[in-house]
Amino acid sequence: DAKTTQPPSMDCAEGRAANLPCNHSTISGNEYVYWYRQIHSQGPQYIIHGLKNNETNEMASLIITEDRKSSTLILPHATLRDTAVYYCIVRVERGGSNYKLTFGKGTLLTVNP
């Protein structure tokens, strides 16, 4: 399975952009990059995913490098409610239309007032 590497923790000031990096140097050409976050004792929340192109939605932006070996999740204006563990995941294809998501240790983002 493709592995991801994330810093264990990061801090960000409220109102500033939070940039969360992720390395996935062994990613294959057809594997998607997903980002989820988990607030304490809750189920993970989907944020965004992408394959090659940069993606943006109402929550965040995902920047994927041209060689696809790394990506950055950007929260444009972090709020205290964005404090959570953020997981960068490479979707592993299992054949047909099946796939699985394997979670790593993630990055604990703490947004400070």
Partner 1 sequence: GAVVSQHPSRVICKSGTSVKIECRSLDFQATTMFWYRQFPKQSLMLMATSNEGSKATYEQGVEKDKFLINHASLTLSTLTVTSAHPEDSSFYICSARQGGSTGELFFGEGSRLTVL
- Binding piece for partner 1, criterion CB under 8 A, among 10-18, 64-72, 75-83, 100-108: 100-108
- Residue 45 binds partner 1, judged by CB under 8 A: yes
- Indicate the SS3 state at residue 82: helix
- Binding piece for partner 1, criterion CB under 8 A, among 19-27, 32-40, 62-70, 73-81: 32-40
Judged by CB, which is closer to partner 1: 1, or 13?
A: 1
- Residue 57 binds partner 1, judged by CB under 8 A: no
Angle at 57 between CA 83 and CA 28, to 5 degrees: 90
Cβ-proximal residues to 65 (8 Å cutoff; 6+ apart), any chain: 71
- Residue 35 binds partner 1, judged by CB under 8 A: no
- Residue 7 binds partner 1, judged by CB under 8 A: no
- Residue 97 binds partner 1, judged by CB under 8 A: yes
85-110 core/surface letters (b: 16 or more CB in 10 A; e: else): bbbbbbbeeeeeeeeeeeeeebbbbe
DSSP annotation of 40: T
Binding site for partner 1 (CB under 8 A): 32, 34, 36, 38, 41-46, 49, 87, 97-106
